[in-house]
Chain A
Amino acid sequence: MKSGFGFDPCDKCEQMMQPYLDRVLTDGEIAEAEQHLDGCDYCRKRYRFEVEFRTFVRQAAVAEPMPPELKEKLRALRTPL
């Protein structure tokens, strides 16, 4: 749980969460984040939620398939040979 004393490792973990999921942290930062996640139930729950949340947003954002008529219109834009 949150320590409440000065420097809070959970706050730091929270700040690293999105870059961690985006895979843009350095090796050292990844190790730091993973070490904290291994030992902290509070952040691990939230990490699992963030993973699920990303999948949820992606699934929600996926549109219906492109209408076949539009595909045909795009093909018609090709340069005639």
Chain B
Amino acid sequence: MSDASESSARQLATDARDRVRFEEEALELSDQVYGVARRLVGSREAAEDLVQETYARAFRSWRSFQPGTNLRAWLFRILTNLNIDRGRKLQRTPDLQPLEESDYFLYNKLEQSGSGGSPDEQRVVERLSQNDAVTALADLPHDFRDVVLLVDLADFTYSDAAQILDIPIGTVMSRLHRGRRILKRTLADTAVEEA
């Protein structure tokens, strides 16, 4: 074997090893990717399709991943981009009505609607239903939902979320703030109706 072909064979072997490692590391994150996908789209089937597409694209474009950088953020960027490409046009645009409510709004509302006395905070939370929370998350305008899910469910920092969604960090903060408030307002309305 000539020197040139020997070195290209070595290169191929290194490439294959890097690729296998990359694919295994990406697969280890699949539960987290699925968890967020499940809340990004309406049905289990759509979430499964989205996760498959995410991995197909990730494996195809593995060379664009810079080793040593954040693989989890890289995968979530593919996930959120694909989701935006897939169905965004069908979804409603963000609600831009001003939100009067303060951050303490939900607690105040639950406290008022309680059966008197000084409520203990844990029992106040127990008056909320998990199903209502899932519905309220699904009903969030998509721009807000993306940020709330990345930060509050997937534990990304503001700066990671900004990179994943390709938006300024200030936009992450305002969408997060607004998204959480909309969520609270929706839950306050349903909790008071159910009480």
Known contacts being A24-B158, A52-B122, A62-B35, is A71 close to B52, with CB within 8 Å? no
- Shortest A78–chain B CB gap in Å is 5
CA gap between A50 and B51 in the complex, in Å = 32
Interface of A is mostly: helix
Tell me which residues from 8 to 31 in chain B have a Cβ below 8 Å from any Cβ of chain A: 16, 19-20, 23, 27, 30-31
Interface centre among A64, A74, A75 (most CB of B within 10 A): A74
Is the pair A46, B30 in contact by a Cβ cutoff of 8 Å?
no
Could you say which residues of chain B place their CB within 8 Å of the CB of A71?
30
Size range of the chain A interface in the assembly: 35 or more
Tell me which residues from 54 to 78 in chain B have a Cβ below 8 Å from any Cβ of chain A: 55-56, 59
Interface assignment of B162: CB less than 8 Å from any CB of chain A: no
Known contacts being A53-B125, A60-B134, A81-B20, is A46 close to B35, with CB within 8 Å? no
- Shortest A54–chain B CB gap in Å is 7
